[in-house]
Amino acid sequence: MSLVNFTTREITCKIVYYGPGRSGKTTNLQYIYGRVPDKRRGRMVSLATQTDRTLFFDFLPLELGSISGFTTRFQLYTVPGQVYYNATRKLVLQGADGVVFVADSQARQLDENIESMQNLQANLIEQGVDARAVPFVLQYNKQDLPSDLILSPDELNEALNFWDVPSFSAAALEGTGVFETLKAASEQVLRKLSQAEPA
Amino acid sequence: MTGELNPRFSFETLVVGAGNRLAVTAARTVAESPGTAYNPLFIYGPTGLGKTHLLMAIGQRAGELASQLSVEYVTLDEFVEAYHAAVAAGQSDALRSRFDRVDVMLVDDVQFLTHRREMQAELLRLVGQLQSAGKQIVLTSDCPPSEIENLDERLLSRFDGGLVVDIGAPDLETRIAILNRRSEEREATFAEGVLEAVAGIEVLNVRELLGLLNRLVAYQAVSEKPLTPWGVKELLEGEEQAAAPLEAAQPEQPPDEFADFLSDVEHTVTEQVEAWRTRLEETIKRWASEGYSTARLEVLLEEEAPVAVEGILRQFERDVERLRGSQVAMARLDKERSREAVFFDPDRVEEADELVQTTLEEVGPPPSPSAVWTFDSFVPGQANEVAISGARGALERPGSRYNPLVLVGPTGVGKSHLLHAVGHELAAAPDAVVACLSAQQLLDELVAAIDGDKVDRWRVRYRRVTAFLLDDAHILAGKERTQEEVFHLFNDLFTSARQLVFAMPQPPKEVEGLDDRLKSRLESGLVASISGPDRDLRREIIEVRLTEQFGAADAELADYLAARPADSVRAVLGLIQRVASAAESQEAKPSAAIARDLIEGVVPVRKRTSTDVRTSGVLASPVTGVRSHEKVVWSWPDPVERVIEELG
């Protein structure tokens, strides 16, 4: 996918929020949505079940305007976390320029985190993408929960961060760490562009 | 009475941030050179931001740098108290003279001067006294001098005459740094993010911040679970809220996270996505500022799609390097032409190279020193030892030790020999271009150059040399144009530290018709004279020459010849030559006898040994004509025919 179009001078970044069910992916997007000035954001599309679970996916287009002469658009997606929506996840993951993995910090969710991480790797491989080459950041959400319920960022790093990618503690409901995560992901994505500079 | 300096309050333990950077810089300057830079230095700022720390740090640093300095630290209260006590005891003069001897006076909390007229007067006296003695005074206050109520105008103007700086509250990063530093000092470790969370809590000053840290340390000591950033907020802010409900103020200023994100993206895009463009622009700017044509690169800026610039830039820089090399080579040949545009256009590298090459060919090499005259064949002696050591000195460090070297002496003493020998040695250096010629030759060349309108070329020939040696320099006398040229050449070569050697019969200043500016320049180096050879040197020379010619020197002959007066080496050599040819004609080895005969002029006339032979009456001299009787043809076959043949 053409991420930077130098002829039309456009940059389009697709960032996918991945992670187990109820880890707070949609919350991340909602928080961002809430902070973006009206003229900059498109309509947030959220297909949710009656119980507020993401059924299909969330899509938040951001118009960042002209940056260094490039019309810049960010497209933020979330995947449905529940195990049985793998087909949707694959679909959303297609053509992703960067991935944010939102992990649930609760100790009892560790297995779900690991399972989802493995699922992500599998889906990437299936699409012929080298998981190590994709811009990737981790977010340890729900760090605001009582400390006896959650794992510390160190412990989570140990369990999930195989490739030593940037990781962020967050409390997405209040917005802590949300933009830090997004910034790190976008920076990586944009950096990748320059490496992919044609010869 | 005087407060002790707390060793913990040093510059090393002070965390510097935007809020206190100016004050700290000023304080350091003052501590390092008391009494010279900012005097008095007045530091003000709200309580708990490190004023006292800074004051004590000044005292300690000043003391470390110069232990003989007397440093006094007092708070204003202590000062007042001491003053009152001294007045009560009738010792106020003693107190004054004690303070007057102080080199660095540090006064804390001067805001308490409010309404204390008599103390203001005393401080004014002290400040004036110390200032006039070049001693340093530093004061701190919680407000600027102008806000200290009822402060004497004269004190105010004194303070304003120095430097008044403020200390502001530390920003977030500085707060984090302070907390890090302090927790390290206390050997307390916290989970990641904890200190950041503490630093995020709004506090008015550093003391309060450290109070929060203390609470954390205490809490962590009794709690089983390590603190988390969230726990911290709860723990500390909960208390804050209970103590003082500041909460209302906070939501008023939510940080614009999106704008922050946007500027981050913008930064990355400029830096990364169009990195090639930025890199290109930077390179263009750099080389254009040095005068190089960057047209080749500028074209690329018009491209929309990214260009793989690295290779192009490398090639461009290589070309510039090459141009520089050519330019340096050209400058050696012709400075004027080395400034031509071709040397600044990386697209014309070849052209620049060719230009240098053709110039070089056109110019041709300058006359080089004769290989015949070498150092080895130069016979040292008393008469020429100064000149030899001068020459060796010049060879050791050409262009810098003896420059110019002027060899002075009568004709035939070996000036030219030494000059060429030096030239020969200099020419052995890598890349050396040595010009070695006589002034007459130079003159002739110049005349020819003027005639052919090629003076520029002629100049270039000599400007590029690494050493210039001019024999018979006195010939320049009266030749104004040549002197003019030599003068400029001299300056050009001298300033670029190239060796210059001249040979002439008299010292430059005695040569009539030589320009004063040339005289003074020639005299500025080493003028070494060579005198006529003394007997020892003559003997040495004779011995060397005889050995060279005949394999061994006849001691008697050498003694005899050395005893003959000769005012130059050339005369000595001439003498040897005469003896040698005389000996040769007699088919004998040169000997003292032959020499004596030759020189003293008694050539015994031989009696004719045979009268049987009829001759024409012409007797060939044995010295000049027939050398051996056996080689004389006594009977000619058909002499008539032969004569005709010869004549025909």
Q: What is the pLDDT of residues B187-218, one digit of tens each?
A: 777 777 788 888 877 777 787 787 778 777 77
Q: What is the mean pLDDT of residues B307-329?
A: 89
Given the structure tokens 């006064």, which residue do they identify? Answer: B107
Residues of CATH 1.10.8 domain(s) within chain B?
172-243
Residue B228, chain A, CB below 8 Å: the answer is yes
Please tell me the distance from the alpha carbon of residue B277 to that of residue B388, in angstroms, as a whole number: 64
Residue A40, chain B, CB below 8 Å: the answer is yes
- Residues of B with Cβ-Cβ distance to A150 under 8 angstroms: 228
Residues of CATH 3.40.50.300 domain(s) within chain B?
21-166, 382-529
Residue A195 lies in a domain: no
Cα dist. B343→B322, B323, B336, B364 in Å? 9, 6, 12, 22
Is B226's CB within 8 Å of A152's CB?
yes
The closest of B48, B47, B73 to B60, measured between CA atoms, is: B73
The closest of A148, A159, A139 to A16, measured between CA atoms, is: A139
Residue A146 lies in a domain: yes
> Is the pLDDT at A113 greater than 90, yes or no?
yes
A9: closest chain B residue by CA: B304
Residue B306, chain A, CB below 8 Å: the answer is yes
Instruction: Return the structure tokens found at B506.
Output: 């008299």
Of A1-5, A116-120, B48-52, B470-474, the poorest mean pLDDT is in: A1-5
Residue-level pLDDT at A108: 94
Residue B257, chain A, CB below 8 Å: the answer is yes
The closest of B573, B526, B395, B559 to B467, measured between CA atoms, is: B395
CA dihedral B236, B239, B240, B241 (to 10 degrees): 120
Residue B262, chain A, CB below 8 Å: the answer is yes
Please tell me the distance from the alpha carbon of residue B393 to that of residue B414, in angstroms, as a whole number: 18
- DSSP for residue B112: G
User: A116: domain CATH number?
Assistant: 3.40.50.300
Residue B1's pLDDT band (boundaries 50, 70, 90)?
Answer: very low
Burial of A155 per CB tally in 10 Å (0-12, 13-18, 19+): middle
Is B230's CB within 8 Å of A190's CB?
no
Residue B231, chain A, CB below 8 Å: the answer is yes
Residue A171 lies in a domain: yes
Residue B304, chain A, CB below 8 Å: the answer is yes
> Is the pLDDT at B238 greater than 70, yes or no?
no
Of A11, A148, A153, the CB nearest to B273: A11
Residue-level pLDDT at B159: 85
- Residues of A with Cβ-Cβ distance to B250 under 8 angstroms: none
Overall domain count for chain A = 1
- Residues of B with Cβ-Cβ distance to A175 under 8 angstroms: 257
CB atoms under 10 Å from CB of B314, counted, come to 10
Q: What is the mean pLDDT of residues A83-111?
A: 90
Q: What is the pLDDT of residues B107-146, one digit of tens each?
A: 988 888 887 788 888 888 888 888 888 889 999 998 888 8
Parent domain of A49: 4-190
The closest of B232, B240, B238 to B216, measured between CA atoms, is: B232
Residue A117 lies in a domain: yes
One-letter amino acid for residue B592 of the chain: A
The closest of B458, B373, B469, B477 to B421, measured between CA atoms, is: B373
Residue A196 lies in a domain: no
The closest of B176, B206, B211 to B193, measured between CA atoms, is: B176
Residue B61: partners with Cβ closer than 8 Å, 6 or more residues away: B10, B11, B28, B31, B32
Smallest CA–CA separation between B229 and chain A, in Å?
A: 8
Specify the CATH class of B172-243 in words. Answer: mainly alpha
- Residues of B with Cβ-Cβ distance to A186 under 8 angstroms: 261, 264-265, 268
Residue-level pLDDT at B251: 43
ipTM field: 0.86
Chain A to chain B, count of Cβ pairs less than 8 Å apart?
96
> Is the pLDDT at A157 greater than 70, yes or no?
yes
Residue A199 lies in a domain: no
The closest of B214, B204, B155, B146 to B179, measured between CA atoms, is: B214
**Which of the two residues, B445 and B630, has the higher pLDDT score?**
B445
Smallest CA–CA separation between B251 and chain A, in Å?
A: 13
Residue B278, chain A, CB below 8 Å: the answer is no
Q: How confident is the prediction for chain B on average, in pLDDT?
A: 81
> Is the pLDDT at B610 greater than 70, yes or no?
no
Residue B502's pLDDT band (boundaries 50, 70, 90)?
Answer: very high
Is A153's CB within 8 Å of B261's CB?
no
Residue A141 lies in a domain: yes
- Residues of A with Cβ-Cβ distance to B261 under 8 angstroms: 179, 182-183, 186
> Is the pLDDT at A107 greater than 90, yes or no?
yes
For the ranges B104-118, B273-287, B412-426, the maximum mean pLDDT occurs at B412-426
Is B273's CB within 8 Å of A152's CB?
no
Residue A197 lies in a domain: no
**Which of the two residues, B231 and A199, has the higher pLDDT score?**
B231
Percent of chain B with pLDDT over 90: 10
Of B356-370, B420-434, B606-620, the poorest mean pLDDT is in: B606-620
User: Which one is the CATH code of B21-166: 3.10.520.10, 3.30.413.10, 3.90.1150.200, 3.40.50.300?
Assistant: 3.40.50.300
Specify the CATH class of B382-529 in words. Answer: alpha beta
